[in-house]
Structure 1
Amino acid sequence: MGVRPASFVQWYVILELFIAQEEGRKLSITDLIHCAGTPRSTILKAIADMAASGFLQRTPDPQDRRRVYLTLEAAFHERVYGLLGDIMSRQGETR
């Protein structure tokens, strides 16, 4: 997982998934498309790139095989958690 997300859309997806996982919610690809306010193709490309890099896991909905839920891969979730913690602690140092 040496590749780092680079685009705004990728970071948007990461943060939405991170928050949802922390709150115990599931997000589908469709949920992300509706929330993002960017073209469907842009979100789908970001998801495909991050899944190929090992940042995301796709899980089919057992009740509706057309729906796919996304989660951050566990190790990547921990990296994001650490990064956000560092940012928050630095914010506290500057205030």
Structure 2
Amino acid sequence: MLQLRDLPTPAILDKFVQRYPDADVTAVVTFLHLLRAGTDLSFALDAYLQQHALLQGRWWVLILLMRESSNTAAPSVLADKAGVSRATMTGLIDGLERDGLVERVPDPEDRRRLAIQLTAAGQAKLDEVMPDYYRRVRQLMQPLSESERKVFIELLDKIQAGASSLSAPL
């Protein structure tokens, strides 16, 4: 993923506005700051998880399984919840199974189907990672008060609701 490290100056943005008069400079600046923050956070999370021999995709699968009452879910359900293709989910599951963190088990209702179950080793991996992860997230968010966090979530929800406008066909 490309990481935008050099945000445009007001002078650079003015140059773009001269060429593209419909540009809303404050909207562009806000969007670029949001994009950069998201990218920086994603890179930082990757670096943290690598210290635990994990990648984000695999970590999220473990978390999704732990959220289930039986620590078990169908691969298609995991793919839907993670927002990835079934083929991508199969690759994530293959790696987790190879490391002993999940196992494929027959579906009790239909033996032709398989479910994915978090193993004791998978739970142990989460137990190793999550306490420090939560401490780091608390430290990251500490500059924001509880009320600022609530407002921030509301603002992000508004932006997320309009995200499809960025990818909508012309």
CA drift of 1:5 comes to: 2.4
Counterpart of 1:69 in 2: which secondary structure?
strand
Query: 1:61 and 1:4, CA in 2 relative to 1: closer, same or farther beyond 3 A?
Result: same
Name the TM-score, length of structure 1 as normaliser: 0.74
CA drift of 1:56 comes to: 0.7
The residue aligned with 2:132 is 86
**Which is further off, 28-37 or 78-87?**
78-87
- Once the two structures are aligned, what percentage of the paired residues are identical? 26
Flag the structure with larger Rg: 2
Moved segments of 4+, more than 6 Å: none
| Cα distance in 1 between the residues matched to 2:84 and 2:103 | 22
Counterpart of 1:45 in 2: which secondary structure?
helix
The residue aligned with 2:75 is 29
1:64 correspondence with 2:110: yes
1:9 correspondence with 2:84: no
Which structure 1 segments of 5+ residues have no match? Answer: none
The CA deviation string for residues 2-51 of structure 1, in whole angstroms up to 9 with x for no partner, is x8222x2212211101222xx34531112112222212211111111111
| Cα distance in 2 between the residues matched to 1:10 and 1:90 | 20
| Residues 59 and 70 in structure 1, CA contact (< 8 A), matched pair in contact too | yes
| Cα distance in 2 between the residues matched to 1:72 and 1:91 | 24
Name the TM-score, length of structure 2 as normaliser: 0.45
- Alignment coverage as a number of residue pairs: 90
RMSD over aligned CA atoms reads 2.3
Counterpart pick for 1:47 among 72, 93, 96: 93
